[in-house]
Amino acid sequence: MAQVFCLGEALIDRLLPWGDDPGRDCLGGAPANGACALARLGSAAGFVGRLGRDPIGTAFAELFEQRGLDISGLQWDEQRPSRVVLVERDASGDRCFGGFDGDRGSGFADTALEADQLPAGLGNGWLACGTIPLATPTSALALQQAISRHRNGGGHLVLDVNWRPTFWGLAADAEPTAEIQQQMQPLLRQADLLKLAAEEAEGLFSSRDAQAVAAALPQRPAVVVTDGGKGVSWSMGAASGSLPAYRVPVVDTTGAGDAFLAGLLHRLVKEPNLLAGSDPGRVQQALQFASACGALVCQGAGAIDPQPAEPAVLAFIEQQPAG
């Protein structure tokens, strides 16, 4: 049985040509990335999402089988295609999303996730999701029902805000509107663990301080704020702190945040008491492990192929200079 279900989009990241790199198509989508990263680390993981009956869907089905994922929540769409996202990159490896490809007029399969086909295993362990399913009514309803079932069954919820304005039909640099922020509120107020990029924390909570974000929500969740090359900060119960980012040669940052979150969830599955922050030293070690997962993914192209197994993460940490 899956210890973590990752709900949302599985799609193609079409890395556009840049410099001497001709570009390539990579399997991606934050929930698919996260589920695959968890499985590579050794956690039992499942994917909940919807794919088209097309070569992209077939490629994901093969990948999920190879990684040993629970696919009881995988839905198939006979009309809508799987989504292709156009990804532009800069000299530092950072990327932005420049639109979509493949729409035949009826939208993409991930927007049509059906609530009545959710897996029976919800309610155990963790449910990981982002805000992208909120962008369309059908997938929004499925997400809301999945969260309700999971919480009613006693499971934990992790929300990675993952603000992607292109999915909402907005300009690539747009901030969430007041209406969109209102849609996000029920998720923010139910999360046991909230992960935000620094700019998302600033936009939604007017602060990049993890403790301030936690204090702004009634349930006072565990909060992790990532800031790319500047590192990560956190607030987990009695534990709070920050770590600098590992310095590595960056090929592509796509999926680094998903690998980071997978690394953290992998440790939380092993040590559930970390969420309350009762052992600040162990919390810091878990965040160090998560940061290493993200750093290793940055050194390869795409979000899934470079994902490390646990021994590779531990070896990477051991090789880092002291202090």
Residue 138 has pLDDT above 80, yes or no: yes
Mean pLDDT in residue range 199-225:
98
CA dist., res. 18 & res. 13, Å (int): 14
pLDDT, one tens digit per residue, over 229-245 is: 899 999 999 999 999 99
pLDDT in tens, 37-50: 999 999 999 999 99
Is pLDDT at 77 greater than 70 in this prediction? yes
Sign of CA dihedral 293, 92, 97, 14: negative
Q: Spell out the SS3 assignment of the chain.
A: CCCEEEECCCEEEEECCECCECCEEEEECHHHHHHHHHHHHCCCEEEEEEEECCHHHHHHHHHHHHHCCEEEEEEEECCCCCEEEEEEECCCCCEEEEEEECCCCCCCHHHHCCHHHCCCCCCCCEEEECCHHHHCHHHHHHHHHHHHHHHHCCCEEEEECCCCHHHHCCCCCCCCCHHHHHHHHHHHCCCCEEEEEHHHHHHHHCCCCHHHHHHCCCCCCEEEEECHHHCEEEEECCEEEEECCCCCCCCCCCCHHHHHHHHHHHHHHHCHHHHHCCCHHHHHHHHHHHHHHHHHHHCCCCCCCCCCCHHHHHHHHHHCCCC
CA atoms within 13 A on the CB side of 176: 23
pLDDT reported for residue 103: 92
Mean pLDDT of 57-72: 98
What are the residues facing 49 on neighbouring strands?
A: 74
The mean pLDDT of 306-320, rounded to a whole number, is 97
In this structure, are residues 33 and 64 in contact, taking their beta carbons and an 8 Å threshold? no
State the average pLDDT over residues 317-323: 83
Categorize the per-residue pLDDT at 131 as very low, low, confident or very high, splitting at 50, 70 and 90: very high
Look up residue 232 and give its two tokens.
Answer: 């990560």
Indicate if the pLDDT at residue 123 is higher than 90. Answer: yes
Mean pLDDT taken over the chain: 94
Output the pLDDT for position 302.
81
**Residue 24: band (very low, low, confident or very high) from pLDDT cuts 50, 70, 90:** confident
Q: Which of 145, 78, 160 is nearest to 112 (CA)?
A: 78
* pLDDT for residue 89 is more than 90: no
pLDDT band (50, 70, 90) for residue 277? very high
pLDDT of residue 92: 63
pLDDT over 90 at 78, yes or no: yes
Mean pLDDT computed over 4-32:
89
Q: Quick one: pLDDT at residue 243?
A: 97
Query: Are 217 and 187 in contact, with CB atoms under 8 Å apart?
Result: no
Q: What pLDDT shows up at residue 314? A: 98
Residue 273 has pLDDT above 70, yes or no: yes
What the chain holds in terms of domains, given with CATH numbers, is 4-319 (3.40.1190.20)
Say yes or no to pLDDT of 160 above 70. Answer: yes
Report the pLDDT averaged over residues 293-321. 94
Taking the C-alpha atoms of residue 27 and residue 302, their distance in angstroms, rounded to an integer, is 7
Distances (CA, A) of 266 to 23, 45, 271, 285, 319: 31, 10, 9, 12, 21
> Which amino acid, 32?
A
